[in-house]
Amino acid sequence: MADTQNLLIIPLDDTVVFPTMDVTLPVDAGDDDRVLLVPRHEGEYATVGTIANVAERIRLPGGGRGVQLEGVMRGVAGAAQTDPMGRLRVEVTESPDASPVDGRTRELVREYRAIVEEILELRGDDGRVASWVRTIVEPGALADTSGYAPDLTFVQKVELLETLDVTERLELALRFQRERLAELQVRKRIRDDVEEGAGKQQREYVLRKQMESIRRELGEDDASVADELRTKIDEADMPEHVREQVERELGRLERMGEGNGESQMIRNYLDWMVAVPWGKRSEDDLDPVHTREVLDADHFGLEDVKDRISEYVAVRKLRTERGMTDDKKGGAILTLIGPPGTGKTSIGESIAKSMGREFVRMSLGGIRDEAEIRGHRRTYIGALPGRLVRALRDAGTMNPVILLDEVDKVGADWRGDPSSALLEVLDPAQNSTFRDHYLDVELDLSEVIFIATANQAETIPGPLLDRMEVIRFDGYTVAEKTAIARDYLWPRQRERNGLLEDEVAISDELLTTIVAEYTREAGVRQLERELGTLLRKTATRVASSGGDGSPSPEAETIVIDVDLVRDALGRQKVFQEAAARTAVPGVATGLAVTGTGGDVLFVEANVMPGKGSGALTLTGQLGDVMKESARIALTYVRAHAEELGIAADAFEDREFHVHVPAGAIPKDGPSAGVTMTTALASLLTGRPVKHTVGMTGEVTLQGRVLPIGGLKQKVLAAHAAGLTDVILPERNRGDLDDVPQDVREQMSFHPVMTISEVLDLALEPAPKRTKARTKA
């Protein structure tokens, strides 16, 4: 059983004394040889104190009394009482430390020593404290060394003093020391980072000063950089307002010196300002005849755009000869809209060559950031001018031909709408004062010829389209494709495949066969790929027969025939199936326009027994407008059943199904209205649609045929499909002038105003027993 003593209490305000500690306190212990040192905070005593022996009573400077105490062990305070002298005494139960020998305690001792040594190393201990700690062998005394730690709070030290179990005290001390170690490691990392940053800055400062001294010795200091920029500015022939801005920025650069962080940003800005070709312009070749010859040599057809460029050159020639000043608001801004592969992009380079100007191509497909057009403001790190300024720099002149490719595919998101930034660029009334965000000066773009290309006008914003002079490319006829293949594609592919002109030959008839049987497109890209395949096969044959590939003088010219075409290109890929598809009642041939040009569309109708009266099912991925056209068509046929020769009970207990192949392709638009009406009328009257007829037009409930768009592309598609008769709205009669002359001569056109005219023209003659056939 532990011994109990009655000892004098000596309170220690916000201080904790552990056993094995020796302290000197300015207190009077009387005649007692032992006392209890108890921590106290705001009048509240701890439950455990340290029993200390009075080693010596001493006199302090100033006449006060003190005692030197030696900590012995822990003591648990019990009942307290006041002695006759008014001092507080307490019953104390001694609690000496045990010496556990279990494995857990030994492991805690090893870990505690390791952490304390690491802490002492981080704090810069000279080894003396670490040696003292290593001399302590008792686990309890080792844990009490945490009491010396300056980083432990009063509360933590009291908690450590009140923990009587040695193993638990070691665990608690170990936890406190781990926290101290983590904190010290973080502090060291922060201190090292700060010192490293400061050292790096100091090193850079010293090196920069050394570099400045070297530059001064070599005559390459800031003054020479400024002089170099000033020379470039003088040679740039800038407008007055631009010159003032540049001089102002150059003055700032000279005043702040190379060491300022903003100097590099100003240097970059001045470099861009002198890179713009302010005073440089290409000398225009103002000969409209020569311009037309160059355009004709590079491209077949495209008469509209060639005429427009020739007119522009002619006007410039007249104004120059008559001494008129340039019209800042008379710039040429053309927009070429048409299917892929029709030569929109390549015509831009030909226009530049024909006029003697530089050519720059800007691809706008997929850009979403307005800064791509206008540039970034200089406040942003890594700011750059917009694409237009970079195009002028690349061209080296202020009057190049700039091609804005795929303007219909410009996107928009939270960074802005690039198409809105193009409003100023493509407006002749505004682009003479275009302001780039980075340069922040007015830039004259009125001398630039802008040529924009697009596949569809529908995706171009209305205000932007309104500023453009639109020229439509509606595709080529079979004859035009044959001529293009003969004069352009065949020679180009022959050269690319290493063949000479006298080694291979092909007839126009065979080129026409390739066009008709292996391609169905508005442009000529697929045609060029097919010719490339054919010539690669031929090149392989020549190389294999000639050994080293060099032709012998007596070698015969390889004449391409149908067998060679079939061998190289495979079986026929495109068929004219209008006759087979429309041989049965209920199928009509319509004409449509897609993003890749015109196309032939078959509308199929069928009838089946059903519970509903005239219920309609629509398939083929039809859009809302096209579905409405089908309902209008069925309503018209039901309303005019008697005059069409359809039995009155033809709609009772029957359901109708209208399908538009191909089912995987979405379709929409009102121009298939007459085709759907014709298909349903053909089904119910039993009269097949003539296989030579294609039709287009919007239909109303009253049977009127309304005008549609894209007539030229639809007619070209009908011609390519082998159709000879086209039914079109009367109000589209004027659009036939856009159809090539050779196509108009080979086809018959039937403008109509009502659906009854369509049916008279499209359906085969009625059999003698119409009603019986209809009922059957």
Residue pair 390/396 in contact by the 8 Å Cβ criterion: no
- 686 Rama sector, left if φ>0, alpha if ψ -120 to 50, beta otherwise: left
Pairing of the two strands 442-443 and 434-435: antiparallel
> Could you tell me the sign of the dihedral formed by the alpha carbons of 245, 246, 249, 255, in that order?
negative
| SS3 of residue 531 by DSSP | helix
For the chain, the helix, strand and coil percentages under 3-state DSSP, each to the nearest 5:
45, 20, 35
Q: Which of 481, 667, 690, 714 is catalytic?
A: 714
671 catalytic? Reply is yes
| Nearest C-alpha neighbor of 711 from the set 598, 603, 560, 577 | 598
Residue pair 588/695 in contact by the 8 Å Cβ criterion: yes
Residue-by-residue DSSP string for 379-399: TSTT----HHHHHHHHHTSSS
- 13 Rama sector, left if φ>0, alpha if ψ -120 to 50, beta otherwise: beta
Separation between Cα atoms, residue 680 and residue 754, nearest integer Å: 16
Q: In a 10 Å sphere around its CB, with 0-12 CB exposed, 13-18 middle and 19+ buried, how is residue 592 labelled?
A: buried
Q: Which of 671, 682, 690, 712 is catalytic?
A: 671
Q: Which helix (H) or strand (E) holds 659?
A: strand 654-659
Residue-by-residue DSSP string for 52-81: EEEEEEEEPTTS-EEEEEEEEEEEEEEEEE
Separation between Cα atoms, residue 582 and residue 679, nearest integer Å: 10
- Cβ-Cβ contacts under 8 Å for 164 (sequence gap 6 or more): 48, 74, 76, 95
Residue pair 694/725 in contact by the 8 Å Cβ criterion: yes
Token pair, residue 624, equals: 């809302």
Separation between Cα atoms, residue 273 and residue 263, nearest integer Å: 15
Residue type, 326: D
Give the up-direction half-sphere exposure of residue 256: CA atoms within 13 A in the CB hemisphere: 16
775 catalytic? Reply is no
Catalytic amino acids?
671, 714
